[in-house]
Amino acid sequence: MTRKVSESTVRRLSQYLRILEERMAGNGGTLSSGQLAEEAGTTAAQVRKDLSLFGSFGKRGMGYRVDELTTHLRQILGLQRVWRVALLGAGRIGSALFEYAALRRRGFDIVAVLDQDPGKIGAPWGGVSVQDVADLPRILREERVEVAILAVPSHAAQDLADQVVSAGIRGILNFAPTQLRVPPEVAVQDVNVVTELESLSFELMRSSGNGAG
Amino acid sequence: MTRKVSESTVRRLSQYLRILEERMAGNGGTLSSGQLAEEAGTTAAQVRKDLSLFGSFGKRGMGYRVDELTTHLRQILGLQRVWRVALLGAGRIGSALFEYAALRRRGFDIVAVLDQDPGKIGAPWGGVSVQDVADLPRILREERVEVAILAVPSHAAQDLADQVVSAGIRGILNFAPTQLRVPPEVAVQDVNVVTELESLSFELMRSSGNGAG
DNA sequence: TTAGGTTTGTGAACGCTTTCACAAGCGTAG
DNA sequence: CTACGCTTGTGAAAGCGTTCACAAACCTAA
């Protein structure tokens, strides 16, 4: 095994799954690659190619059964289990993420919240309370954390990344605008709102001629 | 003109700019493509290729002057002006974004905050107060808004997108987990935390063998 | 002024991703 | 059972983005 699957394919699979889950409410039913593509903003061929990397899930002439494909995609993406997540940083972003019900619904369970601010430590957050980041190694171990979300200021991000890597965590979702240095076996996904806005800015300059001056 | 510039190139340019601005504090100085690549997590050839799409900004044997390249990148990305931004949705994500000082510092000025909840309308947010989303067309016009940030629930996102497009906005930063339908001249950037986590999940399954069962 | 060391800018090669195009397969209707 | 319409799965082709490799250019030192 160990096929080569591109990052963009994985992102599309996540979209397909979201679309299928919206359909699930209604009934089983089926969906063709064309319909799925339409909703996901891609092409039918792309949908079929993406899925074909993992198996044959459709029926010719009929399309894909919503319930079946949902199960397969969950399996492929590793979502048939619950991931134990630690949230590092109890600021505004951390708060927004903690309250974001879709995470838990999708199988990402925030089992610990850590911060450095004595004013925040001990504060009750939902079922858990904010703990001291100084106890990070112990907490990650005891809570059997598998994924860390870094929602801390830039200057603290690399140090914390080193710590969570030392603690054996192999997946990091990074909100700090910094290129983290991690060993190759650790997966990092960055979320950078400034970069997104700057991409928009670039596009807008392009289309509306450049109004520099 | 109108060269073909890939999305990934634009994202890297944004990274280069961030790195350069961190260096700016110190002095002018210079940076080679190798050093820039090292910090941005890419290759020297990639850096040079990215920049070469827009001109020749370096000196052979010397590298790039930090101050000069900073100016060029700002110009290229359309950041020598202030973008007037409306924030749609005064929930937790909206709040986190509003408080995120880096946005204004980078030239994205949130000039209006809109929500649908009567309990929030009128609340003072920094210099502005939350306004009724029912007045969206008037507000976008009067505030000369150019970019909209959608930080609202999924089910409201498409309707609001239609409204901002009708109001002439050509750039949308979308936090709702939904594929927005917009005319081709409108640029959309999506931020989807669930997709990022699912990509991590996929990676983790890959490396640590699949523990399905 | 010249030699040497360094780094850019860029065509060409390479590899990956997307699109194309069609045979194979499935269900339905008669 | 047969004919028909539709949709998948997939090699092949096309299109893009990244990497390679090197001539051209620049600074420094002597």
| Alpha helices (runs of H) in A58-153, residue ranges in sequence order | 66-77, 92-99, 101-105, 136-142
Q: Nearest chain A Cα to B42, which residue?
A: A179
Segment B107-132, tens digit of pLDDT? 999 999 999 999 999 999 998 999 99
Distance between CA atoms of residues A48 and A32, nearest Å: 10
In this complex, the nucleotide whose C1' atom is nearest to the CA atom of residue A46 is C18
Q: Report the DSSP beta bridge partners of residue A63.
A: A59
Across chain B, mean pLDDT equals 95
Q: Distance, angstroms, CA A2 to C1' C8?
A: 39
Residue A4 C-alpha, separation from nearest chain B C-alpha, in angstroms: 11
**Positions of chain A with pLDDT lower than 50, given as ranges:** 1, 210-213
Average pLDDT of the segment spanning B67-90: 98
Q: Tell me the residue ranges of DSSP E strands in A62-209.
A: 64-65, 83-88, 108-115, 124-125, 128-132, 147-150, 171-174, 187-190
> Does B211 score more than 70 pLDDT?
no
SS3 A189: strand
CB A107 within 8 A of CB A82: yes
Identify the residue whose Cα has the smallest distance to the C1' of D6.
Answer: A61
Angle B127-B130-A193 from CA coordinates, rounded to 5°: 75
Distance between CA atoms of residues B42 and B8, nearest Å: 12
Q: What is the pTM of this model?
A: 0.96
Residue A213: the pLDDT is 29
**C-beta neighbour count of A96 within 10 angstroms:** 20
B101: tokens are 């000082």
Residue B4: the pLDDT is 87
Measured from the CB, is A89 under 7 Å from any atom of strand D? no
Lowest mean pLDDT segment, chosen from A99-113, B20-34, B163-177: B20-34
Identify the residue whose Cα has the smallest distance to the C1' of C7.
Answer: B61
Q: List chain C nucleotides near protein: any atom < 7 Å from a Cβ.
A: 5-11, 16-21, 24-27
Q: Which residues of B touch A203 (CB under 8 A)?
A: 171, 187
CB-based contacts of A31, cutoff 8 Å, min separation 6? A20, A23, A63, A64, A66, A69
